[in-house]
Amino acid sequence: MSKALLFACVPASTSVDLFLFRHGIAEQRCHGVDDSLRPLTEQGILRTMEVARRLRSLGFAADRLLSSPYLRAVQTAELAQQAGLAGRVEFESCLLPGRDPWPLLEGLVGRCLLVGHEPDLTHLAARLLGIPSGCLVLKKAGFAHLRWSQQKRSPAGRATLQVLLRPSVLLPCSA
């Protein structure tokens, strides 16, 4: 499995590599509490950090890291940064829950990591892959890698799915 994943991480010089990383396990929603302020649970922090470390050890790394400004996504992005998946975190309102992250793809080059929410990330992936929404599942702290040729025309329907991972695949059996 590791060899296949490492091979999938080798970027083609004229391709765009998009990594989608769903935020980790967060506190339950509470009536009267602002949803944007829900943090990761202790388990969410530990699992997300381990997933990020494992992804880095498999060769995944991005030139840019864009995140939703919601706390649980910010924490996930910071854990990804600490694990060496990318450098500075940039916050994008297009990654807020219910928003369309498609505008972020305009002029995208190289390798980019998006940290956000469901179902928005899988809707984006489905549009890039040219498949119906709902065909992909991205678990909390789940990861997907999509690639398409860097050309002037829209990437809609032109991407290929390189990797789709549940966190349980990357975590030790006891995690």
Element (H, E) at 162: strand 160-165
What residues contact 100, with CB distance under 8 A and at least 6 apart?
94, 120, 123, 124
pLDDT (mean) for 53-77:
98
Between 120 and 11, the higher pLDDT residue: 120
Q: Which two tokens stand for residue 175?
A: 């995690």
pLDDT (mean) for 24-48:
96
The Cα–Cα gap between 94 and 9 comes to 26
End-to-end CA distance of the chain: 19
Between 108 and 26, the higher pLDDT residue: 26
145: nearest Cα among 130, 165, 119 = 165
Instruction: Give percent of the chain above pLDDT 90.
Output: 82
Per-residue pLDDT reduced to its tens digit, 66-114: 999 999 999 999 999 999 999 999 999 999 999 999 999 988 999 999 9
| Burial of residue 56 (number of CB atoms within 10 Å: 0-12, 13-18, 19+) | middle
87: nearest Cα among 106, 105, 66, 69 = 66
From the options 3.40.50.720, 3.40.50.150, 3.40.50.1240, 3.40.50.2300, give the CATH code of 2-170: 3.40.50.1240
Place of tokens 């990437």: 155
The Cα–Cα gap between 139 and 141 comes to 6
Place of tokens 């499995």: 1
What pLDDT is stored for residue 9 in this prediction?
53
Q: What is the average pLDDT score of the chain?
A: 92
Between 10 and 103, the higher pLDDT residue: 103
pLDDT (mean) for 142-146:
98
SS3 state of residue 127: helix
26 DSSP 8-state letter: B
Q: Is the pLDDT of residue 4 over 60?
A: no
**Domain ranges, ordered by start, for the chain:** 2-170
